């Protein structure tokens, strides 16, 4: 590295200057002159959050395995540096070479959550790249977005050249080869490349589609403007998980990251089918990595990073078929070196508690349950598949094993929720506390602490609840107040605590999650008014967002509070995720009318459509 993009004077003015200098352990170094494609991989949030994201590390590893590609990283500058860069016209730069992002071929932005949308505009603006797709020329980088929020790309479609729908291991090589071929032909134009790229599986080019609306504001039709552009875009899936790239020498940040540990991805997808959960639907089918591969990854990653903790990553770790063998290997082979094991997404059963007792300080740690709903009726509605007996039995085993702290996660505002369901949340917490105090006093570790946290439900695309309405901020807070007051009336209220999420952020998230292209103007207005880092409460301003929506003619009543008709055309209907819309409709009806549980994928196939990918849990035990 010849020099830093920021002067020492500027670095001394900003918080945590190590965010901007690169040169971390395991950073990949190449000569930009030796490659054909330069790719700036952007995470539209602060460095500490982005460095904790496994998906970025996987793609960074995969792209850089190619000799003709150099992938570098970019994170959103914190507001202090943002202001300096705007004032002094300093272009946003990549960490590896410190070169301006505007000089790259591709700028890839991962969309992990809706509240980062104004940070997409921040990255484009600071990079001195035109914010609106229509204003870019052949000399500007191609802006491509991936990640979970691309399952409804429409709110940000007018800012983006291409979207990658699905798992990045599958089609990126074909896209890069196409770009390289067209560049080397000497007849490259942006328009020609985008038209050809639209034919690559999983690639969506929004400028090649025409959107029309009905008189009531709902979508009438979305169709390609050329006959050779696909009408639907099919999600890309890595069927054989062992074949994908994986960062066995992951980057180690200078600044303490949000998750400062080795992350071992054990599987993708989930067998459970919770009706509120987008990830559980769009990552189908459930696919596992082999035990032997995970063992080798674990040892290599711990050796190459020096981290003292390893975390198992999946939507439901307890459902990994070789979990006992993997955990026992980690305990036997790794924990002797002073390494801790983090086990998120576990059901609290005898095996899990036995493992955690070996790897945690019981007196300091807490156990986490996610019942999501307080009453059995509502847990059936959301297809949680967890009974009160399961919860109390698990808590009882934990208390008898020495734990005294329990965290409980719930949602408020779920479809069909009644006041009785709300009151059931602290009542369930009280029953857990009662179970603790049934243990003889001499065997307890003092008082128990049961912490309830409620988020407010946000309906997401490609879930059975995508048709559901949301509530206004005041109604969410009223529901939280009912929970809080009911908690105070419980016999063991001194052992209970209650936290709830910000209601206005929830409403805005709901707007962005199910919005269409008309929402883009509101996002732009909000950014122009200074909105960035909206996921951070210190920087979020609902007042600015309301002004931005009013100016754009975007209504919360229409996008957030309205229940959708079952036959409504959604902005995301052009995407084929592998799970059929008629299956989602059936699950919506089973939730709201029958209130029955659908068995998980290993118990019984529900015919969702994911078997079309020809792999994973759909074909377990079949030749």
Return the pLDDT at 529. 98
Q: What is the mean pLDDT of the chain?
A: 95
Task: Tokens 């770790």: give the residue.
Answer: 317
Please state the separation of Cα 509 from the chain's center in Å.
13
**pLDDT tens-digit map of 408-441:** 999 999 999 999 999 999 999 999 999 999 999 9
Model confidence band, residue 362 (pLDDT cutoffs 50, 70, 90): low
What pLDDT is attached to residue 582? Answer: 97
Determine the average pLDDT of the residues in 133-150.
98
Where does 261-360+578-623 sit in CATH, by number? 3.30.750.210
pLDDT score, position 2? 61
What sign does the dihedral 614-619-622-623 (CA atoms) show? positive
What CA–CA distance (Å, rounded) separates 25 from 301? 12
Q: Is the pLDDT of residue 466 over 60?
A: yes
Average pLDDT over residues 297-308: 92
Q: Within a 10 A sphere around the Cβ of 253, how many other Cβ atoms?
A: 18
- pLDDT for 623 beyond 80: no
SS3 252: strand
Looking at residues 366-382, what average pLDDT do you find? 94
Average pLDDT of the residues in 143-168? 98
144: helix, strand or coil: strand
* pLDDT greater than 80 at residue 266: yes
* Model confidence at 404: pLDDT above 80: yes
Q: State mean pLDDT over 112-116.
A: 97
Q: Which residue has the higher pLDDT, 569 or 308?
A: 569
pLDDT for 622 equals 64
Question: pTM value?
Answer: 0.96
pLDDT > 70? residue 320: yes
* Three state DSSP letters for 490-538: CCCHHHEEEEECCHHHHHHHHHHHCCCHHHHHHHHHHHHCCCCCCCCCC
Give 497's pLDDT tier (boundaries 50, 70, 90): very high
State mean pLDDT over 309-314: 92
pLDDT of the residue at 542 = 97
- Kindly state the average pLDDT of the residues 509-538: 98
DSSP state of 251: -
SS3 38: strand
Domain edges within the chain: 8-234, 261-360+578-623
Which is nearest to 174 in space by CA: 47, 66, 57, 307? 66
Given a cut of 90, whether residue 187 has pLDDT beyond it is: no
Residue 49 confidence (pLDDT): 94
* pLDDT confidence tier of residue 364, bands split at 50, 70 and 90: low
Reply yes or no on whether the pLDDT at 1 is more than 80: no
Residue 604: how many other CB atoms lie within 10 Å: 9
- Helices and strands (DSSP H and E) totals, the chain: 20, 19
| pLDDT at 434 (0 to 100) | 97
């Amino acid at each position: 590295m010849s020099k830093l993009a920021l002067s020492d004077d500027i670095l001394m003015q900003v918080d945590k200057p190590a965010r901007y200098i690169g040169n971390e352990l395991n950073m990949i170094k190449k000569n930009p002159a030796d490659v054909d494609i330069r790719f700036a991989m952007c995470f539209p949030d602060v460095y500490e959050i982005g460095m904790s994201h496994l998906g970025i590390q996987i793609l960074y590893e995969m792209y850089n395995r190619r000799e003709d590609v150099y992938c570098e990283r970019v994170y959103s500058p914190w507001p202090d540096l943002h202001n300096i860069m705007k004032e002094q016209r300093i272009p946003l730069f990549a960490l590896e070479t410190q070169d301006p992002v505007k000089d790259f071929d591709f700028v890839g932005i991962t969309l992990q959550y809706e509240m980062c949308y104004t940070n997409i505009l921040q990255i484009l603006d600071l990079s001195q790249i035109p914010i609106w797709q229509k204003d870019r020329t052949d000399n500007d980088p191609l802006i491509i977005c991936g990640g979970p929020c691309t399952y409804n790309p429409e709110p940000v479609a007018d800012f983006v050249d291409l979207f990658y729908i699905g798992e990045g291991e599958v089609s990126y090589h074909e896209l890069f080869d196409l770009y390289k071929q067209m560049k080397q032909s000497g007849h490259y134009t942006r328009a020609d490349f985008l038209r050809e790229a639209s034919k690559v599986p999983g690639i969506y080019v929004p400028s090649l589609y025409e959107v029309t609306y009905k008189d009531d504001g709902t979508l009438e039709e979305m169709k390609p403007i050329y006959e050779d552009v696909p009408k639907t875009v099919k999600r890309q899936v890595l069927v054989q998980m062992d074949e994908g790239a994986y960062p066995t020498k992951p980057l180690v940040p200078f600044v303490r990251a949000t998750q400062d540990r080795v992350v071992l991805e054990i599987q993708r997808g989930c067998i459970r089918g919770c009706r509120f959960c987008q990830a559980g639907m769009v990552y189908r089918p459930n696919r596992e990595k082999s035990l032997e591969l995970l063992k080798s990854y674990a040892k290599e990653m711990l050796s190459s990073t020096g981290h003292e903790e390893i975390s198992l990553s999946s939507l439901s770790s307890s459902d990994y078929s070789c979990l006992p063998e993997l955990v026992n290997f980690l305990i036997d082979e790794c924990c002797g070196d002073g390494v801790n094991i983090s086990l998120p997404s576990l059901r609290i059963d005898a095996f899990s508690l036995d493992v955690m007792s070996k790897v945690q300080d019981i007196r300091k740690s807490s156990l986490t349950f996610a019942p999501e709903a307080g009453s059995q009726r509502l847990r059936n509605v959301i297809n949680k598949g967890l009974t009160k007996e399961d919860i109390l039995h698990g808590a009882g085993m934990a208390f008898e094993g020495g734990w005294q702290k329990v965290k409980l996660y719930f949602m408020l505002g779920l479809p069909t929720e009644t006041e009785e369901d709300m009151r059931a949340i602290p009542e369930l917490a009280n029953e857990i506390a009662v179970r603790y105090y049934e243990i003889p006093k001499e065997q307890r570790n003092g008082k128990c602490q049961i912490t309830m946290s409620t988020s407010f439900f946000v309906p997401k695309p490609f879930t059975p609840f995508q048709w559901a309405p949301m509530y206004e901020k005041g109604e969410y807070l009223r529901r939280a107040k009912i929970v809080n007051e009911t908690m105070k009336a419980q016999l063991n209220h001194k052992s209970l605590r209650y936290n709830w999420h910000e209601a206005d952020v929830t409403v805005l998230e709901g707007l962005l999650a199910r919005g269409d292209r008309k929402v883009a103007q509101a996002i732009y207005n909000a950014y122009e008014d200074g909105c960035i880092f909206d996921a951070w409460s210190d920087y979020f301003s609902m007042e600015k967002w309301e002004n931005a929506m009013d100016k754009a003619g975007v209504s919360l009543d229409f996008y957030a509070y309205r229940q959708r008709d079952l036959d409504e055309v959604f902005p995301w209907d052009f995407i084929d995720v592998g799970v059929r819309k008629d299956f989602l409709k059936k699950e919506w009806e089973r939730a709201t009318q029958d209130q029955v549980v659908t068995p998980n994928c290993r118990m019984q196939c529900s015919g969702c459509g994911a078997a079309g990918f020809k792999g994973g849990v759909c074909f377990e035990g079949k030749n």
